[in-house]
Amino acid sequence: MSQVVYAEEITDHYGRKTWLEICVGDILQCEGEEVDFLVISAFPNDYAKTATSLIGKLSNIGIDVELLAKCKQLDMRDSWSCWISREIVGFQPIRRIVCFENAFRQHEYARAPANTKDPANLVGDVFRSVREFLLSELQHKTNIVRVPLLATGDQKHDQMKMLRAIVRQAFLHLQFCDSIERIQIFLRPNTDRLHNLLVETGSVIQECRTEFPEPEITSRYDYFISYRQVDSAFKDRLVEEIKNRHPKARLFVDKEGLVPGGFWKADLLRAMSQSQKAICLVTDTYPDSPECMDEFHMAFNFNMRKEGFLRPILSLHQRDIASLSGSMTRVHWDMRGFPPDFTGWT
C-alpha cells in the first residue's frame, strides 16, 4: 500500500494547478492510477534483477527492464543520463519506464568527470528527458511522473542529498514546464530516516516557494536571447542588429551563464516568462548544453500557448538538422541566414 503524506499545490505560468505529492509506501502500487512515467535508476547497461532493487521488483510483476532496454523509445544517455522505454504492453497501470543511468561502479569512479560523479547534480536529466519525449512526440501533457529516491539503493548514494535534488527539480518543472500535471516522490516506509526525510522535504519546498514565487504575467522584455556562451560573438551581432532595427527593443541577455549540471536560474525563468518572444541561436554546440536545451524546451512550451513566441535561428556548420533532438525537428526554423530580417517578428 502507499499513502500521500503531503501534497503541494503549485500554480504554473498560465495559472494551471499542478501537484507535487510526497508518498510513503510501495511505488509499484498504482491503486487505480495510471502512471505515465515510472523513473528508476541503474548502473550503466546493468539491469540485474537483485532482490533489493526496483528492477528486481518490476521483474516480479512481469516488467523486464533488460528487455525494455533493448528496444528503447528514446535514448538520451550520451547527453542526459536517461533512456525512456516504449509503451509497456499488457501492464496498463505503468505506461513507460524512465531509466536514470549515471552512477559509476567503484573501479570506474576515479576516472569519471567531476561533474558526473554526484547523481544529485544530474537529477534534472530525468525531467529533461521526459520533456524532450513529450515535445518530440507532440504530446503536450502527461499526468503522473513517479520517482523514488534514485541511486540510493544498490548504488548507496546519500538519501538526503538525492531527496533535496529531486524535490527541487520537481517543483521547478511543475511551475514552469506546462507539460506535467503531477509528480509523485516515493519514500520507502522501512527506512530509519523517514522522519528526517519528510522534515527535509518541507524545508526544500519552503525554499522553492521563496526562490520561485508564483509567476507574474507581465511584459518586461521584447526578446529573450538564448545562446551558448562560446557563441557570444554571434549573439553580439544579433543584439546589434536588433538594436539597429528596433532601437527601443527591450532585450534580456544572460551574461553570467549557468552552473554546469544545474537547472535554470531564477532570473532566467522569470525573464523568459516576461518576454514577448524568445530567440534561440542554435549553433553546432547549442544542443550539447543541457542548460540551453532547458531554455529551448521552455520556449517551445510557451510557443504552444502563444504561437510565434519561439523564434529559432539555425546556424549549423559541422552538423545537420537530422542530428538535432526530436523536439528541435518539430519547430519552424529561420533558414534565411544572418542577419534575420525580422519580418513579422514584432
Higher-pLDDT residue of 71 and 329 is 71
Residue 136 has pLDDT above 90, yes or no: no
Please tell me the predicted confidence (pLDDT) of residue 106.
Answer: 42
Q: How far is CA 69 from the centre of its chain?
A: 21
Please tell me the predicted confidence (pLDDT) of residue 260.
Answer: 45
- pLDDT tier at 149, thresholds 50, 70, 90: very high
Please tell me the predicted confidence (pLDDT) of residue 147.
Answer: 97
Least confident of 51-65, 181-195, 197-211, 263-277: 263-277
Given a contact cutoff of 8 angstroms between Cβ atoms, the answer to whether 73 and 36 are in contact is no
- pLDDT tier at 212, thresholds 50, 70, 90: confident
What cell was used for 115?
Answer: 561533474
* Average pLDDT score over the chain: 84
> In this predicted model, what pLDDT tens digit does every residue of 273-316 receive, in sequence order?
889 999 999 999 898 888 888 889 889 888 887 888 999 888 88
Provide the whole-model pTM.
Answer: 0.87
Distance of alpha carbon 335 from alpha carbon 158, whole angstroms: 48
- pLDDT tier at 167, thresholds 50, 70, 90: very high
Q: What angle do CA 78, 81, 85 make, to 5 degrees?
A: 95
Please tell me the predicted confidence (pLDDT) of residue 342.
Answer: 55
> In this predicted model, what pLDDT tens digit does every residue of 61-109 receive, in sequence order?
999 999 999 999 999 988 889 999 999 987 678 999 999 997 554 444 4
Please tell me the predicted confidence (pLDDT) of residue 116.
Answer: 54
Distance of alpha carbon 62 from alpha carbon 57, whole angstroms: 9
State percent of the chain over pLDDT 70: 85
Nearest CA among 313, 232, 323 for reference residue 280: 313
Please tell me the predicted confidence (pLDDT) of residue 278.
Answer: 93
> Could you tell me the CA-to-CA distances from 327 to 175, 179, 257, 314 in Å, in that order?
20, 14, 23, 14
Please tell me the predicted confidence (pLDDT) of residue 78.
Answer: 84
Q: Is 196 left (phi over 0), alpha (psi -120 to 50) or beta?
A: alpha
Crossing angle of helices 159-176/194-211, nearest 10°? 40
> In this predicted model, what pLDDT tens digit does every residue of 277-289 receive, in sequence order?
999 999 998 988 8
Please tell me the predicted confidence (pLDDT) of residue 340.
Answer: 59
Instruction: Name all domains of the chain by residue range, CATH numbers in brackets.
Output: 2-211 (3.40.220.10), 221-330 (3.40.50.10140)
The three-state DSSP-derived secondary structure of 66-100 is HHHHCCEEEECHHHHCEEEECCCCCCCCEEEEEEE
- pLDDT tier at 173, thresholds 50, 70, 90: confident
Side-chain half-sphere CA neighbours of 238 within 13 A: 27
Please tell me the predicted confidence (pLDDT) of residue 119.
Answer: 85
